[in-house]
Amino acid sequence: MKTEATHSTSLIVNEAAYNLELLPWVSLLDVLRDEIKLTGTKKGCDHGQCGACTIIVDGKRILSCLTLGVMKNGSEITTIEGIANGEKLHPLQQAFIEHDAFQCGYCTPGQICSAIGMLNEAKAKTREDVQELMSGNLCRCGASKGIINAIMEVKGDYHE
């Protein structure tokens, strides 16, 4: 039931359609976690400084904590839950395992979504480029070297 304070919002999340009534001040992160019940996207700082909440919207990586849900009406959203192809892991997920690119794993969903978005941007030519373009995604455990190694492995033959 629609109330005056809510806005009808349609989202396609991981290829599933959702029609929601959202309050205008609710972040896309909270919509994903609280309304759609996809908790893979993490709430880190809630200020856009850590990158834990990175998802892919209309092919581009964004910080979902800084985006209002109503702003993405009609958008196609991919979260960490939508990265794999059934039981087959996305190449970045597999590379993260092979390169031990996580310790606690809290930042991993945002790191993987950000890396996919970065690879889609096709701006990273060198390891230094990857480090710079991933600098908005923090890993407090110190797995950054493994993260960059995983991305570099996939970068060589990545075409989405």
Give the pLDDT of residue 142.
85
Q: Give ranges for CATH 3.10.20.30 in the chain.
A: 7-82
Query: In the CATH scheme, what is the homologous superfamily, with its name and number, of domain 91-155?
Result: [2Fe-2S]-binding domain (1.10.150.120)
Architecture category of domain 7-82 in CATH: Roll (3.10)
Q: Residue written as tokens 């230094």?
A: 128
Q: Give ranges for CATH 1.10.150.120 in the chain.
A: 91-155
Q: What is the C-alpha to C-alpha distance for residues 62 and 47, in angstroms, rounded to an integer?
A: 13
Q: Answer whether residue 157 shows pLDDT above 60.
A: no
- What is the spatial order of strands in the sheet that 16-22 belongs to? 16-22, 7-13, 76-78, 54-57, 60-63
Q: Answer whether residue 3 shows pLDDT above 70.
A: no
Q: What is the C-alpha to C-alpha distance for residues 35 and 64, in angstroms, rounded to an integer?
A: 14
Helices 91-98 and 144-155: crossing angle, nearest 10°?
140
* pLDDT digits 0-9 by tens, 62-102: 999 999 999 999 999 999 999 999 999 999 999 999 999 98
Q: Answer whether residue 8 shows pLDDT above 90.
A: yes
Give the pLDDT of residue 159.
45
* pLDDT digits 0-9 by tens, 108-151: 999 999 999 999 999 999 999 999 999 999 998 888 999 999 99
Q: Residue written as tokens 């960059």?
A: 148
* pLDDT digits 0-9 by tens, 26-73: 999 999 999 999 999 999 999 999 999 999 999 999 999 999 999 999
